[in-house]
Structure formats: structure tokens, C-alpha cells
Amino acid sequence: MSTTLPTGDTKVADWLAHPVAGQVMREMLAEAGQSEKTLAPVKRFSMNKLVKISGGRFSQELLDGLVAETARRAADPSAPVAAASSDEEPSAPVAAAAEAPEWEERVTDGRFTGKTVVVTGAGSGIGRATAARVAREGGRVIALDISAERLTQLAAELDGLDVTTVTADVTREGDIARVLEAAGDRIDALANVAGIMDNMTGLHEVADDVWSRVFAVNVEGVMRLSRAVLPRMLEAGAGAIVNVASEAGLRGSAAGVAYTASKHAVVGMTKSTAFLYGPSGIRVNAVAPGPVITNIEARFDSELAQERITTAMAVLPAPVAAEQLAASITFLLSDDGVNLNGAILPSDGGWSAA
């Protein structure tokens, strides 16, 4: 038996491979009616990272409990120990990937110094990671979200950096006016990140309220805020807009009809705006994320969609951390994206190449 006990810094894969810690973890999962398959997408992350990205589902208390129980059993020779097992043996290249070092965000000092950047959906997930990255790289961030509570948490996390929070709904003109007021005369960049999922229904069963709400946030929200910001960028003769589309903006097999159509609309809006305003110094691009671990809610309300989409998702890559999407978004927002306009950049670990 390995004498080194795992800690919060241990990768999930190594934790599961440890004879004592792995057994403690499997028992905990079984109690919750789950198996280690649940952890397959996050095997490359450390346990501490899992706490950070799980949105409360895997708490620090839970991790502390696992560490304590592992130590207790390791010290007790009569405690049962299981051989490390796995639900399914990974292929050699996949196992090697699980061994690869964890990706770490590296801040580029001063990349956004002197720039005012508006970020929507900044209270959670990809928007939050984008706002944090821009602020850490010297930018002045106008962080907006519909949730005041989430913005309070963001402000606390980024204390000392130049972040102005605005509680605003991107679907409301009045709220957008308050965002512009907070930003002032000059807006250098805009990241339209806020978005919601649908309930994975197809066209014969989609409900009016799902269709309307998904289009209101994902399409109208992007249109309204960009329309409000563009005159300032035109006046300055410069600006960068990054829209967050989705893999569902590129294919028909990643979500229900409302979300898929809404993200195709985002792709169209990105290309039209890039084409029309490129000569005026404004770059408009989009990222199309694959699966990302965030608080976005997705549920299947359709048996047909569940069967078809689950089959198509067989080649889905492992979900990544929101900071990995922020890396793509901030690249396009920054001057490093100088020659990119109208690009729809898949940030999906290669899913779109399948």
C-alpha cells in the first residue's frame, strides 16, 4: 500500500487509484447513488480544483471529511482496504492524458491596461472567469449580471482590482442604459457571455415560453447591448466584441431546438456585424465552447432528444474549467486578436473536428 496519503492537491485520478482513499471515495459516491464514472470528466483536476469548480456540489467540508476518513483508515490496520478498481479501463492515450499536468491560468501583465471592458454574465462560469482575467491583466471591468448576489461574490474575489458591478438584465433596455452610464464615454471591448440553456426539446414539442426566454437572453440580449455599445466604438474608431456562441451554433446535435437556433443566430449576428463594422476598426468574433463546468442548467425534457443527443455526444470531450474558455475569449478581446474579425472560434478541445 502506498504510504503517502492523498491531499487536496492530489488529482482525482490518483485519489481513485489509491487503495484506501479510492475506497473511501467510492463509498461516498455509492451513498449518493453514483459511481466513479461521474468523475471521469474531471479526473485530470486536483481535488481542490474540484471543490472550486463544482458550484457547491463537492464542498470543502466533503473533501476534509474524505481526507480525515482516509487518514483514519490508513492508521487502522483492521480497516478494510480494496484493490484500486475502475469502472472501465481507459485506453493508453486517455490514461496518459489523465496523467498530464493540470492546466494553469497564466496572467499576462498589463494586457488590458487602459481598457474598459464590459462583461455580461460576470457572476458565474465563463463570464466570471473572463471578468477576473481581464481585471487581473489590468483592465477596468464593468461586470454585469442579473444576479446581485453573484456579483457581490465576484467583487469580493476581485477586491482591489478595477471592477464595477452592475446588476442588470441584458433583455431590458433600461438596465442597458445603466450599464453604459457605469462604463462612461469609452468602451474598448465587450464580451457578451450571459446565456441560458433550453430544456433539450425538439421542434414538435418546444414550449413558447422556453423559445421566447432563450431567444430573449441569448439573441436579443446580445443584440441590445452591442447596439448600445457600437456608437461609442464607432466614435473611437476602435473596439472588440466577443460573443459566446456554442458548439450548438455549429451543429444540430448539441442541444434542443431553441438553444441551437439561438446560438446559430449569435453566429449570424457576429458575422454580419464583423462585415459591416470591420472597416471602422471594430472586430467582432465569437467563441463556440464545448462542455464547460459552470452553473448553467441543462435538463432533458424530451425522450426523443435525450436518445438522439446522447448518442451524438459519445465523442464529447471532457468538460473544461471556465478559465480555459476565458483564455480564448480574452485572446480575441485583446490586441493579440488584431487580425481576427468575423471568426467563430471553436474552443472545445477538438469536438468540432469530429
Say how many residues make up the chain: 354
Asked if 53 interacts with ligand NAD (CB under 6 A), we say no
What is the amino acid identity at position 4?
T
> Which of 13, 193, 206, 210 touches ligand NAD by CB under 6 A?
193
Of 70 and 243, the one with the shorter C-beta distance to ligand NAD is 243
Asked if 328 interacts with ligand NAD (CB under 6 A), we say no
Query: Of 128, 10, 57, 38, whose CA–CA distance to 318 is shortest?
Result: 38
Catalytically annotated residue among 45, 215, 259, 351: 259
Asked if 150 interacts with ligand NAD (CB under 6 A), we say yes
Asked if 285 interacts with ligand NAD (CB under 6 A), we say no
CB 230, CB 282: distance < 8 Å: yes
> Which of 6, 22, 139, 195 touches ligand NAD by CB under 6 A?
195
CB 42, CB 11: distance < 8 Å: no
Query: Of 115, 225, 114, whose CA–CA distance to 166 is shortest?
Result: 225
Residues in contact with ligand NAD, total (CB under 6 A)?
A: 29
Of 6 and 256, the one with the shorter C-beta distance to ligand NAD is 256
Asked if 292 interacts with ligand NAD (CB under 6 A), we say yes
DSSP symbols for 138-191: T-EEEEEES-HHHHHHHHHHTTTS-EEEEE--TT-HHHHHHHHHHH-S---EEE
3-state secondary structure of 193: coil
Q: How far is the CB of 161 from ligand NAD (least distance, A)?
A: 19
> Which of 85, 153, 212, 295 touches ligand NAD by CB under 6 A?
295
Asked if 126 interacts with ligand NAD (CB under 6 A), we say yes
User: Strand 344-347 to strand 116-120: parallel, antiparallel, or no bridges (unpaired)?
Assistant: unpaired
Distance between CA atoms of 60 and 4, rounded to whole angstroms?
A: 21
Of 285 and 294, the one with the shorter C-beta distance to ligand NAD is 294
Beta carbons within 8 Å of 107's beta carbon, 6+ residues apart: 133, 136, 137
Q: How far is the CB of 324 from ligand NAD (least distance, A)?
A: 11
Asked if 221 interacts with ligand NAD (CB under 6 A), we say yes
Distance between CA atoms of 117 and 323, rounded to whole angstroms?
A: 17
> Which of 13, 15, 25, 123 touches ligand NAD by CB under 6 A?
123
Stretch that binds ligand NAD, among 7-15, 59-67, 100-108, 290-298 (CB under 6 A): 290-298
Of 74 and 118, the one with the shorter C-beta distance to ligand NAD is 118
Binding mask 12-41 for ligand NAD (x = CB under 6 A): ------------------------------
Q: How far is the CB of 354 from ligand NAD (least distance, A)?
A: 16
> Which of 39, 74, 146, 233 touches ligand NAD by CB under 6 A?
146
**What are 17's three cell numbers?**
487509484
Classify the C-alpha dihedral 262-268-270-272 as positive or negative: negative
CB 101, CB 13: distance < 8 Å: no
Active site residue 277: no
> Which of 6, 121, 256, 346 touches ligand NAD by CB under 6 A?
121
Provide the greatest CA pair distance for the chain: 75
Stretch that binds ligand NAD, among 56-64, 79-87, 231-239, 288-296 (CB under 6 A): 288-296
Beta bridge partners of 240: 189, 283
* Backbone dihedral angles phi then psi of residue 190, each to the nearest 5 degrees: -135, 130
Asked if 194 interacts with ligand NAD (CB under 6 A), we say yes
Q: How far is the CB of 217 from ligand NAD (least distance, A)?
A: 4
Asked if 256 interacts with ligand NAD (CB under 6 A), we say no
* Backbone dihedral angles phi then psi of residue 246, each to the nearest 5 degrees: -175, 165
| Cα dihedral 82/94/55/72 (nearest 10) | 20
Residue ranges binding ligand NAD (CB under 6 A)? 120-121, 123-127, 145-147, 150, 169-171, 193-196, 217, 221, 244, 246, 289, 291-292, 294-296, 322
Write out the catalytic residue numbers.
259
